[in-house]
């Protein structure tokens, strides 16, 4: 039994990770902004699985809040053995927009927070000789859909760099690259599910199960399902001009 800390742990992929950990008997620290939703999710998990669930209300855009969570990752008592950096959101704003606030917020939540929490977890886990860090990236990081793709490309590269620094330490570092997953993420991002072919959608619990299997195998990059492994292979080998063309077509599927 270990304790897993999950950011954005009350919905979507984060909630699915929390359920998977609780089902196997791991205790939890759930981090999210909404205190009411945190309390509700924690109560459900305690009742269903009999595990201990600690909740932390924090905004990953706020540096002080992130540092408060980082301190938990370095605590000596009841140490945290798994970190899932999951908090995030889609971005609609054009790269040419005069107001760059949405991009800056995204960089803070999905970039800076991942960096600060990954560093804290890595130091603490290395000193104990064991631990797991899972950073939620995206297959979008392999294409060119604005700042979201750029940030997720950074998450993947950062994860690989962290894995290099922690090699041989007993700490497993993995970047999960989801594609289209049945969660509320895409609805909030304004993406019409009907515009995406059905065969491309992945069940969120299957996604998490695949990722944890890859973690157990020591994989640094986890790409769920054979179809996304196939698609990712092509994004790595097609001419970048073709990737940009494909990215433009995908962007047109967003609701306006």
Choose the catalytic residue: 17, 21, 49, 148: 148
Q: Which of 178, 186, 229, 228 is nearest to 204 (CA)?
A: 178
Backbone angles phi, psi at 125, to 5 degrees: -70, -40
Q: Which of 58, 163, 151, 51 is nearest to 111 (CA)?
A: 151
* Buried-state track 37-50, b at ≥16 Cβ within 10 A, e below 16: bbeebbeebeeebe
H-assigned helices in 166-200: 185-188
Residue 45 · residue 19 · CB < 8 Å: yes
Q: Which of 79, 58, 77, 76 is nearest to 67 (CA)?
A: 58
158 is catalytic: no
DSSP character at residue 199: G
Half-sphere exposure of 249 (CA within 13 A, CB side): 7
Token digits for 125? 């886990």
Indicate which residues carry an active-site annotation: 148
């Amino acid at each position: 039994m270990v304790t897993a800390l999950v950011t954005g742990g009350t919905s979507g992929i984060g909630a699915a990770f929390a359920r998977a950990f609780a089902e196997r008997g791991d205790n939890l620290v759930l981090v999210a902004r909404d205190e009411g939703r945190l309390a509700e999710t924690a109560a459900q998990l305690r009742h269903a699985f009999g595990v201990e669930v600690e909740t932390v209300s924090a905004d990953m855009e706020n540096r002080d809040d992130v540092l408060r969570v980082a301190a938990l990752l370095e605590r000596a008592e009841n140490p945290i053995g798994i970190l899932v950096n999951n908090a995030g959101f889609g971005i609609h704003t054009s790269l040419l927009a005069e107001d760059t606030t949405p991009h800056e917020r995204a960089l803070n939540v999905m970039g800076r927070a991942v960096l600060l929490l990954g560093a804290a977890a890595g130091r603490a886990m290395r000193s104990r000789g064991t631990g797991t860090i899972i950073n939620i990236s995206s297959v979008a990081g392999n294409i060119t859909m604005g700042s979201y793709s750029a940030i997720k490309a950074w998450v993947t590269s950062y994860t690989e760099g962290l894995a290099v620094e922690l090699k041989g330490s007993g700490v497993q570092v993995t970047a999960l690259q989801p594609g289209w997953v049945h969660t509320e993420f895409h609805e909030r991002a304004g993406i019409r599910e009907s515009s995406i072919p059905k065969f491309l959608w992945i069940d969120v619990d299957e996604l998490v199960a695949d990722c944890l299997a890859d973690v157990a195998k020591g994989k640094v990059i986890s790409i769920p399902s054979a179809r996304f492994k196939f698609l990712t292979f092509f994004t790595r080998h097609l001419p970048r001009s073709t990737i940009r063309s494909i990215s433009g077509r995908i962007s047109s599927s967003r609701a306006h």
